[in-house]
Amino acid sequence: MLFVVTEDWYFVSHRMPLARAAIAAGYRVTVATRVQAHGAQIRAAGVGLVDLPFRRAGLNPLRDLAILIRLIGIYRKLKPDIVHNVALKPVVLGSIAARFANRPAVVNALGGLGYVFASTSLKASALRPVVVALLRLAFGGNRSRLIVQNEDDAALLTGRKVIPQARVRLIRGAGVDPGDFAPGTAPPPPPLVILPARLLRDKGVYEFVEAARQLRGEGSTARFALVGAPDDENPASVSKTEIDMWVEQGIVEYWGWRNDMPEVLSRAHIVCLPSYREGLPKVLLEAAAAGRSVVTTDVPGCRDAVRHAITGLVVPVRDAAALADAIRALLADDDRRREFGLNGRKWIESEFTHEKVAAATLAVYGELLRVPRDR
């Protein structure tokens, strides 16, 4: 089987446990991805590696055609039985390539519908019909299945006739290893509230900063930290100039990109993700596994990763005042934060482990392998 993924770091953080499970089940696994800093780690796990210079940013017909031609060559050389495409560009290009070489079974996985569907900008609105048409093309064929992470995404795609319901499978997230996180006593004061994500407008960064500004203006001693980095390949990226201004004003701290999330979460009192739309955000599952209370928004994906008033609080999207109210309430109630953390940890252990996700995904592979190859 062949994974097609844009970035090697994403494969390691979100798909490596599935690759290991596939190897244990008898598959020979390769990933085609842009290799930057994680090639040795991927090879050490027994996964074959092909460098594929993806660029996630925008639509560049010549560049994307070059990737498509390269993918066709990879398929013809490796002759995969199954291709597992992850995220929008690999889904489109990987599915088209499959029609020209080897005609493998195709699993398409969308972790969320992303900028094109979440943003209200004119650019996103213009791109949306193009993307819908490309997805209809990608999802064709009896030997293909689409994995989505929440029911809202499934309803949107089937409602727009992008794909028949019979070819859609719901698997909630990429899974978490609870053993990686050690929930314990709350860290010492002052309380720390973090937003751990790529620093995009669509992640609710502006609302988080405004909520922090409001609470600090009220005299709150809490610290607020952005844990992540801008994404220059995403048109919704926050600029480094804006981040530097917020830090200089004393509103937030900027921690940058971190690979040690168990350590980061162990230092936080509240984890906040006021996103506009998600698939099923892994960071919220990790926060629950670490026994941390969560504040997030009432949008697809986010509301699926939190049980309101049980493991965290859900607030209206794009509402900095409501976000500040929820954070304020949790900052004032140590017992409630502790209760949410304990409930979240139990929920992760019962519903969102790597083993459950891998078993469900391997079942999709098995289903497709039983479907006769297209002629």
- Asked if residue 17 lies in contact with residue 354, where contact means CB atoms within 8 angstroms, the answer is yes
Please state, rounded to an integer, the average pLDDT across all residues of the chain.
Answer: 94
Q: Tens digits of per-residue pLDDT, 277-292?
A: 999 999 999 999 999 9
The confidence score (pLDDT) of residue 240 equals 96
- Collapse the DSSP code of 237 into the 3-class scheme (helix H, G, I; strand E, B; otherwise coil) and give the result: strand
Pick from 80-94, 104-118, 271-285, 313-327: least confident: 104-118
Position 179 pLDDT exceeds 90: yes
Q: How far is CA 372 from the centre of its chain?
A: 32
Q: Tens digits of per-residue pLDDT, 362-374?
A: 999 999 999 987 6
Q: Class of 2-175+354-369 per CATH?
A: alpha beta
Predicted confidence band at 214 (pLDDT cuts at 50, 70, 90)?
very high
Identity at 185, one-letter amino acid code: T
CATH number for the region 178-351 comes to 3.40.50.2000
Beta-carbon contacts of 72 under 8 Å, excluding residues fewer than 6 positions away, are 97, 100, 101
- Asked if residue 49 lies in contact with residue 43, where contact means CB atoms within 8 angstroms, the answer is yes
Residue spans in the chain of domains classed CATH 3.40.50.2000: 2-175+354-369, 178-351
223-227 and 2-7 beta bridge pairing: unpaired
Of 113, 85, 11, 7, give the one whose Cα is nearest residue 364: 85
Of 218, 279, 285, 209, give the one whose Cα is nearest residue 249: 209
The token pair at 98 is 């499959």
Of 29, 33, 1, 19, give the one whose Cα is nearest residue 104: 1
Average pLDDT over residues 191-196: 98
pTM: 0.92
Position 57 pLDDT exceeds 90: no
Pick from 120-134, 176-190, 344-358: least confident: 120-134
